[in-house]
């Protein structure tokens, strides 16, 4: 059972960019949990409104101790409205064994293109259970940027060749925790152990900045949202400055261990949005894994969402 909580029930703030990543504002945390005692295999919340482009952000604290087998997701989607042609942008945190670096993935779908997963997988460079860190998704008509704190970790630039596989329909913001024992941690090797329950995720300082629309309205969203989209694209976080691009490059060099763009077995011809960087490409095998470790196995869709398991076998210094 998924418990859905209207974000309008939570105190929201939409500060200027100067304070988005350095906010001192305190709001009561939203807590979601996984607990077999009350027979929940998942829980979460969803925004009351759907947005045509936007900036979605929250300070998040992940479950501590042993959390293998769980999946914590912070994402935008319209799968409840467009079941066969849904769009999605997501962070997924893939459970953890105490003492191991947390692993997570980002993904993008447009128009139900789940057959062309665009996963990238990484390790976190900090312990996300010790305190709050800000995770953000920027979605405009031109690009998608995933942020952790002030660091952009991934940018997808829209181009004509992507066609309908770039997300274009209004989406809601979701946050969920669920039992993903069959794939989340080491490809399903480590299951959820409910003796460590409840598994608690805390969210605070939620940000939704975008154009709220009716997903089935006949009026063009371009007309309704033109001013707000211009304002969104003018925000500081919509611009990957040279300093931010350097930070992104360093992150990807140190902590990315799988990229679909370098998985030539899965995609002999890289998808059109891939920016192939020779120095980056030489670090990966034809499977898209790092040459010194890592694993990738595809996984079928579950619960209206698509995910791919990750092996905890990559090596490298934090």
Catalytic residue chosen out of the listed positions 8, 92, 202, 311: 92
Residue 131: CB atoms within 10 A of its CB come to 9
Cα-trace Rg, the chain: 19
> What are the tokens at 63?
């479950």
Catalytic residue chosen out of the listed positions 8, 83, 88, 119: 88
92 is catalytic: yes
Q: Where are the beta strands (DSSP E) in the chain?
A: 30-34, 42-46, 50-61, 70-77, 88-93, 103-109, 120-123, 133-139, 143-148, 151-157, 172-179, 199-213, 256-263, 287-289
The answer to whether residues 185 and 168 touch, using CB atoms and an 8 Å cutoff, is no
- Return the half-sphere exposure (C-beta side, CA atoms, 13 A cut-off) of residue 64: 5
> What are the tokens at 184?
């989340």
The three-class DSSP label of residue 165 is: helix
83 is catalytic: no
Residues 6+ away with beta carbon under 8 Å from 210: 51, 52, 53, 54, 55, 56, 139, 228, 232
**Angle 206-70-205 (CA atoms, 0-180°, nearest 5)?**
10
**Active-site residue set:** 88, 92
């Amino acid at each position: 059972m998924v418990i859905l909580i209207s974000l309008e029930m939570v105190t929201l703030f939409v500060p200027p960019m100067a304070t988005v990543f350095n906010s001192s504002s305190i709001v009561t945390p939203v807590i979601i949990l996984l607990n077999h005692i009350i027979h929940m295999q998942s829980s979460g919340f969803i925004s009351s409104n759907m947005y045509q482009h936007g900036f979605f952000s929250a300070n998040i604290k992940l479950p501590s101790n042993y959390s293998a087998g769980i999946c914590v997701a912070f994402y935008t989607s319209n799968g409840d409205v467009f079941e066969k042609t849904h769009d999605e942008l997501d962070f997924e945190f893939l459970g953890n064994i105490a003492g191991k670096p947390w692993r997570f993935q980002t993904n993008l779908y447009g128009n139900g293109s789940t057959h062309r997963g665009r996963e990238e997988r990484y390790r976190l460079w900090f312990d996300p259970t010790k305190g709050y860190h800000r995770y953000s998704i920027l979605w405009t008509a031109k690009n998608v940027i995933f942020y952790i704190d002030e660091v952009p970790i991934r940018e997808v630039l829209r181009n004509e060749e992507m066609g309908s596989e770039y997300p274009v329909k209004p989406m809601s913001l979701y946050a969920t925790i669920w039992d993903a024992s069959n794939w989340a941690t080491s490809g399903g090797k480590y299951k959820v152990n409910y003796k460590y329950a409840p598994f608690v995720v805390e969210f605070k300082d939620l940000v939704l900045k975008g154009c709220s629309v009716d997903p089935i309205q006949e009026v063009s969203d371009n007309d309704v949202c033109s001013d707000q989209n211009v304002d969104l694209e003018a925000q500081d976080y919509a611009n990957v400055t040279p300093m931010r691009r350097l930070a992104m490059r360093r992150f990807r060099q140190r902590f990315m261990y799988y990229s679909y763009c370098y998985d030539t077995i899965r995609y002999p011809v890289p998808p059109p949005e891939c920016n192939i960087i020779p120095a980056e490409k030489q670090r990966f095998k034809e499977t898209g894994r790092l040459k010194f470790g890592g694993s990738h196995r595809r996984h079928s869709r579950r619960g209206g969402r698509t995910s791919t398991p990750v092996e905890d076998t990559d090596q490298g210094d934090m």
